[in-house]
Amino acid sequence: MGYNMYRNREHHDVKSLIGTIISDLNGSRNLKDGLLSLVLHGGAPLFEDEDTYLDVDIVFLYKDEAIPVALRAIAETFTRLCYDLNKFDNKAFFAIKSGPMHPLREKETDPLSNINKQRIIFFHISVFSESGYVGINTTATASPLLVYRWQHLRPIFGQPLSDFRSVDKLTVDDVISAGLGIDNTIFMLMNREKGYWTWKDNNMVWCKEHFKDFDDYEMIVYALKWCINNSLSHLSHFLPISLTQERMTDVFAIYFLNQSLLTDYYSIIDFKSNIKNYRKQFVENPERFRELFDIEKLTGIVISILNGTKEKLRYIQKIWTYEYRSTSPNKEDQMV
């Protein structure tokens, strides 16, 4: 990973930067031993061209026996990568943690104001063993919601993740009860803490940490985003609805929200659409920002939307199950 790769400050061009990172990861021999799949979430063309904060999500899948060496190789690789990137107007850092996180700084002692002076580049790294990912090791396995989201991503090395585990369709129980589902996100919002998988002594363990900095505002946005995506992914298996990004919020409102929630719902959607600017405002003056945007009120709105969605999902499930059994000509089908 050479200096020349990062000497060009135009890595203000995010696609160019992501392309360089992909090339570098794909060419690293140290990462290849036992590596089954290496995926960047979405791929370079889908990354936002944001000049202040870039969250690069990466998934590594390894053979079980390769995990100890792989963890050291990943840490060494990204330490060097961040060192090279930080020679310019960047603050790059990484975390090997699989869970929701969009940190503004590497350490709590780092000045929060740096985000408006340097571009933050956060490498969000998920590492899975083969047995953990496919579910043989059921104490530490990927959520079906993540598997569903990741399974069709094109790998930059190895096989597609769907070759190891796939989810044909999301069930109501997945959307409500799985990791990063409705119940899980309500728990995180109410307790103001996030959970994630990480590695300790070559074992995958579940950890928790309290929200800090802008986490609570980020989480209300992502909780709603996950709820919309997962609910519509479930619904799309039964109804011919369009899931284009432009229409997702309106389609979700039509199928899942009561009239009384619509005004509050669109206020959160508006907050979501301005999250980048709000992040900058928060950094400039956190106390003033919290006065302007009451996190307790915003959290309450999102939890109401999540609970209402859960009720509607159960209602739809009940109606469809009844209609299926009523119209099925096969008595054995009626017992399903």
Give the DSSP letter string of 79-95.
Answer: HHHHHHHTTSSEEEEEE
pLDDT 10s digits, 301-324: 999 999 999 999 998 888 776 555
Of residues 316 and 265, more confidence is placed in: 265
pLDDT of 26: 81
Position 48 pLDDT exceeds 50: yes
Q: Give CA–CA dist 59/35, Å, rounded.
A: 11
Position 221 pLDDT exceeds 50: yes
Position 49 pLDDT exceeds 60: no
Average pLDDT over residues 3-12: 46
Paired tokens of 284: 């400039």
Distance of CA 302 to the CA centre of its chain: 18
Q: Give CA–CA dist 282/266, Å, rounded.
A: 21
Paired tokens of 335: 């017992």
Position 296 pLDDT exceeds 80: yes
Confidence (pTM):
0.87
Q: Give CA–CA dist 40/19, Å, rounded.
A: 11
